[in-house]
């Protein structure tokens, strides 16, 4: 089931998400819905708070469904390693129409659990490292604009506030 994606300003996006306690059918349904919603958007990643579910769950597919077996599902993830620096343009399904250059790690290793509660580790460089940190940020109530400084951040947020005020958001 495709779920509506929340946009910047909605409380769930700015709130730290809770750990998943039960690896049950409800979690598996959530993961299915998240993948479907991400592919339909389309996007390379989606975190549960973006559909209003305050749990530490995300999905990533940097091929956006073009290559089989690239879907990553992560539950209760933690960083093992974050190293190096990359600077690339980045956007977010919850801040549609806006992009900015964001500092991200060049390589990231994340440990967590799959849909059945088995441990798993994902290692990524480049776009995958970027996506991993972007989705991890969502679980802590943080969006890419929160990593921007000064005028770049102000310009985007002022435009978003204006869209919100005029009911176009
Ligand atoms: Ni995002």
The whole-model pTM stands at: 0.96
Q: What is the pLDDT of residues 21-71, one digit of tens each?
A: 999 999 999 999 999 999 999 999 999 999 999 999 999 999 999 999 999
Any idea which residues carry the catalytic annotation? Answer: 135
How high is the mean pLDDT of the chain? Answer: 97
| Mean pLDDT on 107-136 | 98
- Gyration radius of the chain over CA positions: 15
Range of the domain at 69: 11-165
| Mean pLDDT on 67-86 | 97
In a domain, 1, yes or no: no
Distance between CA 161 and CA 169 in Å, rounded? 9
Which CATH number do you get for residue 45? 3.90.45.10
Nearest Cα residue to 136 out of 61, 64, 77: 77
Distance between CA 130 and CA 110 in Å, rounded? 12
Number of domains in the chain: 1
Ligand 1 centre from 151 Cα, in Å? 21
Q: Which residues surround ligand 1, an ion (CB under 5 A)?
A: 92
Distance between CA 71 and CA 86 in Å, rounded? 23
At 106, the pLDDT band (50, 70, 90 cuts) reads very high
């Amino acid at each position: 089931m495709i779920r509506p994606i929340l946009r910047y300003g909605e409380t769930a996006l700015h709130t730290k998400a809770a750990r998943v306690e039960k690896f049950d059918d409800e979690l598996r349904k959530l993961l299915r819905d998240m993948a479907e919603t991400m592919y339909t958007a389309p996007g390379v990643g989606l975190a549960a708070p973006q559909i209003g579910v305050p749990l530490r769950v995300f999905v990533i597919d940097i091929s956006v469904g073009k290559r089989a077996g690239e879907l990553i599902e992560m539950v209760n993830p933690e960083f093992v390693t974050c190293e190096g620096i990359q600077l690339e343009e980045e956007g977010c399904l919850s801040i549609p129409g806006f992009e900015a250059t964001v500092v991200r790690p060049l390589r990231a290793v994340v440990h967590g659990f799959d849909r059945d509660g088995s441990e798993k580790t994902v290692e990524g460089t480049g776009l995958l490292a970027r996506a991993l940190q972007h989705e991890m940020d969502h679980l802590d109530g943080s969006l890419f604009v929160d990593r921007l400084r000064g005028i770049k951040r102000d310009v985007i947020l002022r435009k978003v506030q204006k869209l919100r005020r005029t009911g176009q958001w």
